[in-house]
């Protein structure tokens, strides 16, 4: 029952799309590190990975089979292995380590909301922990099969729940089963000249339910909105009851329970259906690159665009480190590289920051919006680089995780972290986190994206040679130092990666003791036995 969208258990995506590590990338990193990269390590086979023995009782397995059918309750090695982890750096280190890994005791595949609810009720009654599983793309430990105080744990895979359930074209509202993947959703909507406009880097493999559960922000969120901006209704099965929130454009009926579903991370229940606001499918698009004199001037330019209502659908600005990394990874050399260097030096931005802007919309609507934005950019010394670099970014924006796999196989730690803050604090926070990362990593870069009237997101990428005898400990030390710098300097502990396991120690600093207590009270009501995704979020 292998799935065509099933990812490699030890890395991202599929072998067919992985490509190779380009020699110019390897050469540039070797220069930065001061030594060659390691010889590539062969990826593990399934037989190389040792997994824990299943502890699910025959009684529980029989009960689950009576709900979803025996064929949809699997405890074979393959099913358990691919549901043993997400796609964080630490997850992939574990998969490649050769050590015994914890695995769910079984994987259950419900077909609809009612069967999900019946599975949860049975698990609550029998004391079996439940980990909801969509695309398995979590990078913060969100799908780790932790069992808490329970003897056994199952993964509830929503892969059979992948359909458009209802479409109100007049209202532009679509209701989707939670297991629907990004490409499937957009393909279905395209036939109706509609789009959700939600394109996270995990788009090819992540699911509607996963987006909502983690409060995802797509790369075009400045234009279309975050996923929590787009939710108009939701249905969530819980062990205690169910939440059925009908599609509604807005109301004042007490606290917004849709906001409670968004970001629940499987700790309250399983999101089974979501109603989302849609947009007209854009008829045209234009992506282009600019260079600004500095990261600070780029931040000012993006703020001016956003606060003037002129932000394009995609707007991002890289600092000098990420700009240099991007140019190096692009493979630009020879006469073209010299020509670009002369061009940038002649305009005083040779050490500047790269900006990518992307407009989407109806034919004829883009040029006027673009002209108004260009007038603003000119006030901040922006220099146009043309559409080639913008198109190159758009074409490769889902491919970066494959590069991480190649580099991990060559002994390189590759990690990302993100935060958000107000415009007035943005550069101060950036400098504080950048300083901490630069103390422990050789290559560090950052970009601004996901713009708001009040602030923006900072997204850091860092690379450094792995510590041979304790790569996991090296990661924990660096991650902890960076997270503490974020908390100490007024940043959100996460903007769109969610809490999971990795960020759980820092949630109290953001929400406060009373906020955490309120969330725990909600969990007691919806999940009184505590079986839902133990060890995550709270």
Confidence of residue 4 (pLDDT cuts 50, 70, 90): low
Residue with tokens 């060559």: 410
Could you list the beta-strand ranges (E) of 23-169. 73-74, 106-108, 128-133, 152-157, 164-168
Confidence of residue 347 (pLDDT cuts 50, 70, 90): confident
Give the domain 284-397 fold: Alpha-Beta Plaits (3.30.70)
**Beta carbons within 8 Å of 371's beta carbon, 6+ residues apart:** none
Percent of the chain past pLDDT 70, that is, above it, reads: 99
Strand partners, 415: 462
Percent of the chain past pLDDT 90, that is, above it, reads: 90
Dihedrals phi, psi of 57, to nearest 5 degrees = -70, 155
Could you list the beta-strand ranges (E) of 293-338. 314-318
Mean pLDDT of 20-28: 95
User: Rounded distance, CA 373 to CA 375, Å?
Assistant: 5
**356 by DSSP, 3-state: which?**
strand
pLDDT recorded at residue 6: 87
Per-residue pLDDT for 281 more than 90? yes
Identify whether the C-beta of residue 64 lies closer than 8 Å to the C-beta of residue 106: yes
pLDDT recorded at residue 418: 98
R_g (Cα) of the chain, nearest Å: 23
Mean pLDDT of 313-342: 87
Among 324, 321, 304, 305, CA closest to 313? 305
pLDDT recorded at residue 37: 97
Identify whether the C-beta of residue 142 lies closer than 8 Å to the C-beta of residue 498: yes
Per-residue pLDDT for 275 more than 70? yes
pLDDT recorded at residue 344: 83
User: Rounded distance, CA 386 to CA 391, Å?
Assistant: 9
Mean pLDDT of 292-299: 96
> For 457, how many CA atoms within 13 A lie in the half-sphere containing its CB?
25
For residue 532, what is the DSSP state?
B
pTM: 0.95
User: Rounded distance, CA 443 to CA 29, Å?
Assistant: 8
Q: What are the extents of the domains in the chain?
A: 164-280, 284-397
Could you list the beta-strand ranges (E) of 123-180. 128-133, 152-157, 164-168, 173-177
Identify whether the C-beta of residue 41 lies closer than 8 Å to the C-beta of residue 117: no
pLDDT recorded at residue 3: 52
C-alpha distances in Å from residue 2, one per residue of 5, 65, 79, 92: 9, 19, 9, 20
pLDDT recorded at residue 1: 36
Treating both helix axes as pointing N-terminal to C-terminal, what angle do 320-330 and 23-33 enclose, rounded to 10 degrees?
Answer: 140
**223 by DSSP, 3-state: which?**
helix
Identify whether the C-beta of residue 358 lies closer than 8 Å to the C-beta of residue 285: yes
CATH number for the domain whose boundaries are 164-280: 3.30.465.10
pLDDT recorded at residue 283: 96
pLDDT recorded at residue 340: 80
Distance between terminal CA atoms of the chain? 34
Among 75, 223, 209, CA closest to 135? 209
Per-residue pLDDT for 79 more than 90? yes
Confidence of residue 142 (pLDDT cuts 50, 70, 90): very high
**Average of per-residue pLDDT values in the chain:** 95
């Amino acid at each position: 029952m292998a799935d065509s969208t099933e990812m490699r258990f030890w890395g991202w995506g599929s072998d067919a799309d992985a490509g190779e590590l380009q020699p110019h990338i390897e050469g540039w990193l070797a220069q930065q590190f001061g030594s060659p990269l390691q010889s590539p390590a062969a990826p593990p086979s399934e037989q190389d990975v040792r997994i824990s023995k299943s502890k699910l009782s025959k009684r529980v397995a029989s009960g689950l089979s009576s709900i979803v059918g025996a064929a949809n309750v699997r405890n074979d090695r393959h099913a358990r292995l691919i549901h043993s982890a997400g796609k964080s750096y630490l997850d992939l280190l574990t998969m490649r380590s050769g050590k015994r890994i914890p695995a769910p005791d079984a994987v259950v595949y419900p077909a609809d909301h009612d069967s999900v609810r019946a599975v949860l009720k049975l698990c609550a009654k029998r004391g079996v922990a439940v980990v909801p599983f969509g695309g398995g793309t979590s990078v913060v430990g969100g799908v780790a099969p932790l069992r808490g105080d329970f003897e056994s744990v199952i993964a509830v895979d929503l892969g059979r729940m992948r359909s458009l359930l209802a479409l109100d074209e007049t209202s532009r509202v679509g209701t989707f089963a939670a297991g629907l993947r990004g490409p499937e959703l957009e393909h279905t909507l395209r036939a109706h000249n509609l789009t959700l406009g939600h394109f996270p880097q995990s788009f090819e493999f992540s699911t509607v339910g996963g987006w909502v559960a983690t409060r995802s922000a797509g790369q075009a969120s400045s234009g279309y909105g975050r996923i929590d901006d787009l939710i108009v209704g939701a249905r969530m099965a819980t062990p205690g009851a169910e939440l059925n929130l009908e599609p509604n454009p807005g109301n004042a009926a007490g606290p917004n329970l849709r906001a409670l579903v968004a970001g629940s991370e499987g700790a309250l229940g399983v999101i089974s259906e979501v109603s989302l606001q849609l947009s007209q499918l854009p008829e045209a698009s234009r992506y282009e690159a600019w260079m600004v004199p500095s990261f600070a001037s780029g931040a000012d330019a993006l703020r001016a665009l956003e606060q003037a209502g002129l932000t394009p659908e995609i707007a991002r600005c890289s600092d000098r480190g990420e700009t240099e990394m991007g140019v190096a990874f692009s493979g630009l050399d020879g006469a073209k590289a010299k020509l670009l260097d002369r061009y940038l030096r002649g305009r005083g931005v040779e050490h500047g920051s790269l900006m990518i802007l992307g407009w989407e919309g109806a034919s004829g609507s883009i040029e006027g919006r673009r002209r108004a934005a260009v007038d603003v950019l000119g006030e901040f010394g922006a220099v146009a680089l043309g559409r080639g670099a913008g198109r190159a970014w758009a074409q490769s924006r889902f491919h970066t995780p494959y590069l991480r796999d190649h580099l991990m196989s060559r002994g390189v730690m590759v990690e990302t972290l993100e935060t958000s803050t107000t415009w007035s604090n943005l550069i101060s926070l950036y400098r504080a986190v950048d300083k901490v990362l630069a103390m422990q990593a050789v290559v560090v870069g950052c970009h601004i994206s996901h713009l708001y009237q009040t602030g923006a997101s900072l997204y850091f990428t860092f690379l450094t040679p792995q510590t041979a005898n304790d790569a996991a400990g090296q990661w924990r030390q660096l991650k902890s130092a960076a997270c503490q710098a974020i908390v100490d300097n007024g940043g959100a502990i996460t903007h769109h990666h969610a809490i999971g396991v990795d960020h759980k120690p820092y949630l109290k600093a953001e929400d406060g003791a009373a906020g955490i207590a309120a969330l725990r009270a909600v969990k007691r009501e919806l999940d009184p036995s505590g079986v839902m995704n133990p060890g995550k979020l709270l």
